[in-house]
């Protein structure tokens, strides 16, 4: 984080189980590439995770694992700030201030809230409802310019922009209004079993979702079972959701264009194509898996990294919290 001129990137991921191929392709893979050009801040969003019921011991374990996975995916704690959200109390503090600049109506329109409350009808807690405010705080605390996310987070980002603008209008300029940074290819990886739905950890069918720590055989088996269509031609076209999804995944992990892929599989059946995608994904993820295993055997190093990350994040965020407190009229006592 040497120069001040570089733009600031912030993003986060929830530590609910291991990352999916969707998380990787839509977000984390790009976070890695952005490290050279930008000042990057990446966090494990453990505070977000408790909006649905969690087993505390499991959450603790998943959070450390998610942090290790972040580093295994190429996030370099020497180049970027990588930390765990709950380690920086500023996230909780700014959340309250921003809640008071967020409208009930705009939160009611969040599609993820509607979907999650349908999924957990016995626990529609206030945190689930106000979660996008916590996320707005994550972004605004660091005066972020760009937020690299998959398409499913776009609405939350719109809200963060609205909240920032509203606060700035009411109290005077403070927050930078962030822009989304959504990849052209892979912004929404679909379930292998229902290619009209997003690939997600909560997929009812375990074959729909690839986890980046799945072993090679599991990955290939899941791709072999992927739902396609009856045309039996590998080409990217409307109505071919399953094949389009597989082509997107294959394109991202091999760097080949859709045109190259169509040529490569000209005259071949879906069986060959699905096997090739499975193998390419498994090979692409192999270094991530082995680096993850290595890091999980070095908990002291992980702790050192997330402690340093929290201190760096805390220093930046505290400045914003202090300014926000002053702007809204809280009395300074230091």
Active site positions, annotated: 116, 198, 201
Tell me the β-bridge partners of 20: 211
The answer to the question of residue 193 lying near ligand TYM (CB under 6 A) is no
First-residue to last-residue Cα distance in the chain: 28
Question: Residues 164, 169, 170, 172: what is their CA dihedral angle, to the nearest 10 degrees?
Answer: 90
* Closest separation in Å from C-beta 268 to ligand TYM: 27
The answer to the question of residue 149 lying near ligand TYM (CB under 6 A) is yes
In a 13 Å sphere around the CA of 185, the CA atoms on its Cβ side amount to 16
The answer to the question of residue 214 lying near ligand TYM (CB under 6 A) is no
The answer to the question of residue 152 lying near ligand TYM (CB under 6 A) is yes
Candidates 70, 82, 90, 147: give the one binding ligand TYM (CB under 6 A): 147
The answer to the question of residue 316 lying near ligand TYM (CB under 6 A) is no
Residue indicated by tokens 């300074």 = 332
Q: With b meaning 16 or more CB within 10 Å and e meaning fewer, what string describes 55-66?
A: eeeeeeebbbbb
* Closest separation in Å from C-beta 203 to ligand TYM: 10
Report how far residue 89's alpha carbon sits from residue 86's, in angstroms, rounded to the nearest whole number: 6
Residue with Cβ nearer ligand TYM (33 or 268): 33
The answer to the question of residue 194 lying near ligand TYM (CB under 6 A) is no
* Closest separation in Å from C-beta 86 to ligand TYM: 12
Report how far residue 259's alpha carbon sits from residue 136's, in angstroms, rounded to the nearest whole number: 39
The answer to the question of residue 63 lying near ligand TYM (CB under 6 A) is no
Candidates 34, 97, 110, 199: give the one binding ligand TYM (CB under 6 A): 199
β-strand pairing of 146-148 with 39-44: unpaired
Question: Residues 183, 223, 203, 216: what is their CA dihedral angle, to the nearest 10 degrees?
Answer: -90
Query: Cβ atoms within 10 A of the Cβ of 88, count?
Result: 25
Residue with Cβ nearer ligand TYM (144 or 265): 144
The answer to the question of residue 222 lying near ligand TYM (CB under 6 A) is no
| Cα 260–Cα 25–Cα 6 angle in degrees, nearest 5 | 105
Residue range at the interface with ligand TYM (CB under 6 A); choices 6-14, 268-276, 300-308, 315-323:
6-14
The answer to the question of residue 198 lying near ligand TYM (CB under 6 A) is yes
CB 18 within 8 A of CB 69: yes
β-strand pairing of 179-181 with 146-148: parallel
* Closest separation in Å from C-beta 204 to ligand TYM: 15
* Closest separation in Å from C-beta 51 to ligand TYM: 9
Closest residue to ligand TYM in the complex (CB): 26
Q: Taking CB under 6 A as the rule, which mask of x and - marks residues 111-140 in contact with ligand TYM?
A: ------------------------x--xx-
* Interacting residues of 279 by C-beta distance below 8 A, sequence separation 6+: 216, 220
Which parts of 22-51 interact with ligand TYM (CB under 6 A)?
22-23, 25-27, 45, 48
Binding site for ligand TYM (CB under 6 A): 10-14, 22-23, 25-27, 45, 48, 135, 138-139, 147, 149-150, 152-153, 187-189, 198-199
């Amino acid at each position: 984080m040497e120069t001040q001129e570089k733009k600031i990137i912030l993003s986060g991921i929830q530590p609910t189980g291991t990352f999916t191929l969707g998380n990787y392709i839509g977000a984390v893979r790009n976070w890695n590439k952005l490290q050279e050009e930008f000042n990057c801040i990446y966090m494990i969003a453990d505070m977000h995770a408790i909006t649905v019921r969690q087993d505390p011991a499991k959450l603790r374990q998943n959070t450390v694992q998610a942090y290790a996975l972040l580093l295994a995916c190429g996030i370099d704690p020497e180049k970027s700030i990588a930390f765990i959200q709950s380690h920086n109390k500023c996230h909780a503090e700014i959340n309250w201030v921003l809640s008071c600049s967020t409208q009930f109506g705009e939160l009611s329109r969040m599609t993820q809230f509607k979907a999650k409350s349908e999924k957990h009808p016995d626990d529609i807690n206030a945190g689930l409802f106000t979660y996008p405010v916590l996320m707005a705080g994550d972004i605004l605390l660091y005066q972020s310019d760009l937020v690299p996310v998959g398409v499913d987070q776009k609405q939350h980002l719109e809200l963060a922009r609205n909240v920032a603008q509203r606060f700035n209008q009411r109290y005077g300029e403070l927050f930078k209004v962030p822009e989304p940074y959504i990849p052209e290819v892979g912004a929404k990886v679909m379930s292998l079993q229902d290619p009209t739905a997003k690939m997600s950890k909560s997929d009812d069918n375990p074959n729909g979702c690839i986890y980046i720590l799945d072993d090679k055989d599991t990955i290939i088996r899941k791709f072999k079972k992927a739902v396609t269509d009856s045309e039996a031609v590998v080409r990217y076209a409307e109505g071919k959701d399953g094949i389009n999804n597989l082509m997107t995944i294959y394109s991202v992990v091999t760097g080949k264009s859709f045109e190259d892929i169509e040529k490569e599989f000209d005259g071949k059946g879906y069986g060959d194509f699905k096997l090739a995608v499975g193998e390419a994904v498994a090979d692409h993820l192999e270094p991530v898996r082995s680096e993850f295993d290595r890091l999980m055997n070095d908990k002291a190093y992980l702790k050192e990294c997330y402690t340093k990350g929290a201190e760096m994040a805390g220093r930046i965020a505290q400045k914003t919290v202090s300014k926000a407190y002053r702007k809204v009229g809280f009395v300074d006592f230091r």
